[in-house]
Structure 1
Amino acid sequence: MKLIIEADGGSRGNPGIAGSGTVVYSASREILREIAYVVGKASNNVAEYHGLLRGLEAAAELGATEVAVYLDSKLVVEQMSGRWKIKHPDMKELALQAQQIARGFDSISYTWIPREKNKKADALSNVAMDACAAGNPVGILASESEPKAEPVSEPVAESKPDPKWNGAVSRPLRLLLLRHGETAMSVAKQYSGSSDPALTPRGEEMSQQVAARIASRGGIDAIVCSPLGRARQTAQFCADALGLDVQVMDELVELDFGDWEGKTFAEVIAQDAELHQKWLADTSIAAPGGESVQAVNRRVKRALDKLREQYPQGNVLVVSHVTPIKLLLRAALDAPTSIVNKIHLDLASLSIAEFYADGPTTVKLING
């Protein structure tokens, strides 16, 4: 279900008496919630974050899966989109709260709109500021569009979470699988496994762009990556955008191509076409001096087991290479290892797999 949020906030004094206003709409623009929130003494920007937070909370309560947020605060839009850093401690804390809620949605977007197109939220923020000036405590003011509590004569049974389509009621471990950016060897179409080329300038740009895209969604709990430099560089761009640290997992390193390392596809065929064909057809066969896809699968499985133990629920960004990412998708699809030859992954592409403790795994995106 898609919901639309328009939010605003203001302060008379900056800092001074502050309030926020939020309107939550259905996809057809039916008003579902109007929220005026007394912030207390705060700055305009802090009040604007409160407007965003009240909208996200309401959207989550209403069962939204897709959310489009519109604000007339360029600062909040750019910060929540991951393009601007957040330095103010109060705003940083509010942004983290917003990202925490946002991770429960399948998708979320933040868009700037001019103030004249945000009149309903602006009017509600002024109602909240008036209430603040009149001495109302911090909190949401009563609203006609808020559901009223009805008296009950009998105890209400404790509600159970609605199961998802796959029967699961828990939140999954969602792995966002990111391939590293461009290197000189990827441009030359050379086998690049254990070799360690750096990102090209274009590879850095690609990584920055995908980092901003991921940061705009928010809700990432941790970042793990391969020990190779191209993956670590890509992961660091994401870490900078998200304000997180990077954990290195040796099991996520690319397949070792042995004697084929640094050679192109054509060069390897010219060297030994028969062996190369067998290698493509049989995942138990390794390149001379290298490792097989099945060997990589065993260590990727160890990495997945560690991740599921460390993060039974939440969103983890995994920055790695073609083969480990394909094998993590293989695990989610419960497919044979030969599937690695049936999936294409672009540089800096994103794939998503979800692992439930109480339901089957799902793949939500490949090569996005």
Structure 2
Amino acid sequence: MKYRLEWKYKLKNNERVQCSADWVTGETALQMGEELEAAGKVSDLYFYDEKGTSWILKEMKKLLAEIEEDPHDIIVYFDGGFQKETNQAGLGAVIFFNQGKKKYRLRANERFDELETNNEAEYAALYYALNLLEDLGVSHLSCEFKGDSQVVLKQLEGEWPCYEDVLNRWLDRIEEKMKALDIHPKYTVIPRKDNKEADKLATQALEGKEIFAKTIIL
């Protein structure tokens, strides 16, 4: 989750000027807030998250302490592979997140039967990633989802229409899961070369190689 600060700066003539900062991590936002308060030149200092919720400094300290041990700062890479001959799909997901003072990477895949197109496999891969997030206990957070399917991501954003009933059903399932977990999504289209790890996991799933690995990033 990213945060931004807003405050009023007190000039020598007692005039107050409205100021704001760019989006930063929770840790950086808290440090900025504490330093501004210590300077004694600000009033009406508030922290805002990406959903518009606001906190004062004391509440922000408590919030960050509570979420420190929960997964946060989450980035999800996903990809779906499809075999037309068998109507099978390989679903791959790579999830980066912070928890406590450590950074983690979760790699997982799954084979899925009875799909019809590659686009459907991409939707299924994203839904699979959401189930992984649910298992991690992720909720009430913003998450960035990165994939190389522009069609799927633009449809999820609502920028492109979706006319296929099968894909609309996947859209509904994804939106329902997002709502249940209270996840605020950001969708980013990336080149295929930047999605190699999720793509490889999807291919391995089609080959019958199941993978589930959680590692600490040093």
What is the TM-score when the length of structure 2 is the normalising length? 0.56
2:52 is matched with none
- Asked if 1:19 is matched to 2:90, the reply is yes
TM-fit CA distance, 1:23: 1.3
2:129 is matched with 55
- Asked if 1:89 is matched to 2:165, the reply is yes
Match of 1:143 among 211, 214, 218: 211
Contact 1:19 1:40 (8 Å CA) reproduced: no
Distance 1:113 1:107 in 2: 19
1:158 is matched with none
2:108 is matched with 34
1:107 is matched with 184
Structure 1 or 2: more strand by fraction: 2
Write the letter of the residue equivalent to 2:156. Answer: M
Match of 1:70 among 126, 134, 146: 146
Question: Any idea what SS the aligned residue of 2:182 has?
Answer: coil
Contact 1:20 1:37 (8 Å CA) reproduced: yes
Contact 1:67 1:105 (8 Å CA) reproduced: no
Report Cα offsets for 1:188-210 as digits up to 9, x if no partner: xxxxxxxxxxxxxxxxxxxxxxx
Report Cα offsets for 1:1-24 as digits up to 9, x if no partner: 232111111223388432221112
Write the letter of the residue equivalent to 2:143. Answer: V
Distance 1:29 1:96 in 2: 32
TM-fit CA distance, 1:89: 1.2
Match of 1:117 among 179, 182, 194: 194
Runs of 5+ in structure 2 lacking a partner? 1-71
Distance 1:43 1:121 in 2: 18
TM-fit CA distance, 1:29: 5.8
* TM alignment of 1:250-261, pairs within 5 A: none
Q: Extract structure 1 runs of 4+ deviating beyond 3 A.
A: 14-17
TM-fit CA distance, 1:82: 0.7
Question: Any idea what SS the aligned residue of 1:84 has?
Answer: coil
Identity level (%): 26
Question: Any idea what SS the aligned residue of 1:53 has?
Answer: helix
Q: Structure 1 residues 89, 108: CA separation in 2 closer, same or farther (over 3 Å shift)?
A: same
TM-fit CA distance, 1:142: 4.2
Contact 1:15 1:42 (8 Å CA) reproduced: no
Higher relative contact order (CA 8 A, sep 6+): 2
Q: Structure 1 residues 8, 92: CA separation in 2 closer, same or farther (over 3 Å shift)?
A: same
Question: Any idea what SS the aligned residue of 1:42 has?
Answer: coil
1:173 is matched with none
* TM alignment of 1:137-216, pairs within 5 A: 142-145=210-213
Larger Rg: 1
Write the letter of the residue equivalent to 1:145. Answer: A
Question: Any idea what SS the aligned residue of 2:213 has?
Answer: coil
Write the letter of the residue equivalent to 1:128. Answer: A
Question: Any idea what SS the aligned residue of 1:26 has?
Answer: strand
Distance 2:212 2:132 in 1: 15
Distance 1:122 1:143 in 2: 13
Distance 1:33 1:53 in 2: 15
Distance 1:86 1:110 in 2: 16
TM-fit CA distance, 1:87: 1.3
TM-fit CA distance, 1:47: 0.4
Contact 1:14 1:44 (8 Å CA) reproduced: no
Write the letter of the residue equivalent to 2:73. Answer: K
Report Cα offsets for 1:140-177 as digits up to 9, x if no partner: x743427xxxxxxxxxxxxxxxxxxxxxxxxxxxxxxx
